[in-house]
Amino acid sequence: MTQTTLMSIPGQIDPVPVARDITPREDGRVDLIGLPKDRIRELFDEAGLDAKQAKLRAKQVFHWLYHRGVTDFEAMTDIAKTMRPWLAERFFIGRPDVVEAQHSTDGTRKWLLRTSDGHEFEMVFIPDADRGTLCVSSQVGCTLNCRFCHTGTMRLVRNLTPGEIVGQVMLARDALGEWPKGSMAGLEVEEDSAQYTSDGRLLTNIVMMGMGEPLYNFDNVKGALKLVMDGEGLALSKRRITLSTSGVVPAMERCGEEIGVNLAVSLHAVTKEIRDEIVPLNKKYGIDELLEACAAYPGASNARRITFEYVMLKDKNDTDEHAHELVRLLKHYKLPAKVNLIPFNPWPGAPYECSTPERVKRFSEIVFEHGISAPVRTPRGRDIDAACGQLKTAAEKKSRAQRDREAAEALEPAATA
C-alpha cells in the first residue's frame, strides 16, 4: 500500500529516521497545494506555456488557490475557458482527506485527516473569546518519545509535505467558511460562525503544536508557513503564528531567521536528571545549551517573548524549588519569557499523573511573584482527546488493540501445546 522508506535527515541536524518518500498520485497529476508561486510558474513552463504566459497564469492560479480557496480549475473565472481543462489534465488541487470530524462540548473541534498515501494525522481548532487557534501537525507521529506525550508512542512516522501542512489551514478555512466571498459556491457555511475579527474570521492564530516535532521537518514547515504568511496567499501575520519545539537547538536560529514566527519551547523541567527522563532529547541538547539558543533567538524581545511550556506532572517537576529554579534560569539567561503551565493531559497507560490544582496554582504564583507571567492553560477538548499531547490517531489506537489481540491469539496454540 504505502511505499515509504526509512531515511535519515541529512546534514547537521540530528539523524532521526523518518519515512520520507511520498507515493506519487496514480493519475500522474501534480498537486499544486504546497508549492510556491515560482515553482508553479516553472511547472507551467515545463508543461509547454511560453515564459510570459507561465508567469501570468502562475500569478492567477496562486491567487485562486491560496487567497480564494478554490478547489476546481473551472472556478478560476479570469482564466480562459479553454485553458481550464488543460490545467485540470496536468494538475490537481488537493486537500487532506477528512476521515472524521469531532466537536467537543467546549467548542473545540478535531479532525482526523489522511494523506493521499494513507497516513493518518490530526488537527485541532480551539475557539476562544477573542481568537481562534488552529493547532497544526508537522509529522505523522513523532520520533522523540517524550514520556508524557501520547503522540510520541506512535510507531509510524513520516514528515508531512508542505502541501499537507498548509492543507490543514486551508481545510480549516473550508470548514469554517472563511474564504473571501466569491469562492464559496457549493460550500456550506456554518450558521454558528461568530465574528471574531474585523475581517470576520474565526481562524486568527496558528500554533505548530499538533503531532510531530516541527524542527525535524524544517524545510517543509518553512515552505508551508511561507504560504500562510504570504500577503498574496493566506496572509496571516507571523505574529499570529507560534512554533513549538522540544528543543532542537541546531535548528532554532534558522527558525527565527528564515521563518520568523514566535517561538515556544517545551522546557518542562529544570534539572538534567528530570528533563533527561521526560524529554529524552535533553541528553543531546541540555538545558543550558537550549536556553542559550533561546537567548539568541532572532526576533525575540519584550514585545515578542518566548513561551516556555511546562507540563505539570505530580511529584515529578512541580515543587516550589522547581519553580524557583525556573525563575533563576530564565533570569540568568535574561530571557524575554512567559511561562505556560500545562496541566498534564492523561492518556491510557501514561506513566504520570497531573499535579493537584493547588500545586499548579502555587507553582504559578511563585513564578508570577518574580515578575514572569505564568498562566495555567485550560485544557480544551479533553472529551474528544484533542488536548495537548493526546493526539494519536484512532487508527493507531485500533491497530495497537488489533496487534494485542493478534499477539494473544498467537500465544494460544503454544499455551495448549
What amino acid positions are annotated as catalytic residues?
122, 388
The residue behind cell 513520516 is 158
**The only residue of 9, 19, 146, 263 in contact with ligand SF4, by rule CB under 6 A:** 146
156: nearest Cα among 9, 17, 278: 17
Binds 145: which of ligand SF4, ligand SAH, none (CB < 5-8 Å by kind): ligand SF4
Stretch that binds ligand SF4, among 9-17, 37-45, 122-130, 140-148 (CB under 6 A): 140-148
Own/partner long-range contacts of 175-184 (Cβ < 8 Å, ≥24 apart): 175/101, 175/109, 175/111, 175/125, 176/125, 176/132, 176/201, 176/202, 176/203, 178/202, 178/203, 179/68, 179/69, 180/67, 180/68, 182/68, 183/64, 183/68, 183/69, 183/70, 183/75
How many Å is the Cα radius of gyration of the chain? 23
Of 149 and 374, which has the nearer Cβ to ligand SAH?
149
Give the range of 64-72, 85-93, 147-155, 269-277 binding ligand SF4 by CB under 6 A.
147-155
Question: Do 221 and 214 form a contact (C-beta atoms < 8 A)?
Answer: yes
Q: Please report how close the Cβ of residue 298 comes to ligand SAH at its closest, in angstroms.
A: 19
d(CA 137, CA 149): 14
Among 8, 77, 145, 197, binds ligand SF4 (CB under 6 A): 145
Nearest approach in angstroms of CB 311 to ligand SAH is: 4
Residues binding ligand SAH (CB under 6 A) = 146, 148-149, 209, 213, 244-246, 266, 309, 311, 342, 344-345, 388-389
**Beta carbon of residue 148, minimum distance to ligand SAH (angstroms, whole number):** 5
Backbone φ and ψ for 32, nearest 5 degrees, come out as: -80, -20
In three-state secondary structure terms, 7 is: strand
Burial of 90 (0-12, 13-18, 19+ CB in 10 A): middle
Q: What is the dihedral of CA 116, 153, 378, 302, to 10 degrees?
A: -80
Q: Decide which of ligand SF4, ligand SAH, none touches 121; Cβ closer than 5 to 8 Å per partner kind.
A: none
Which of 126, 149, 270, 342 touches ligand SF4 by CB under 6 A?
Answer: 149
Q: How far is the CB of 149 from ligand SF4 (least distance, A)?
A: 3
Could you say which of 116, 133, 137, 151 contacts ligand SF4 (CB under 6 A)? 151
Contact 311, 345 (CB under 8 A): no
309 binds, among ligand SAH, ligand SF4, none (CB under 5 to 8 A by kind): ligand SAH
| Listed ranges 120-128, 137-145, 221-229, 375-383: which one lies at the site for ligand SF4 (CB under 6 A) | 137-145
Least Å distance between CB 213 and ligand SF4? 4
Instruction: Tell me if 32 sits within 8 A of 92, measured CB to CB.
Output: yes
Q: Interface residues with ligand SF4 (CB under 6 A)?
A: 142, 144-146, 149, 151-152, 212-213, 246, 266
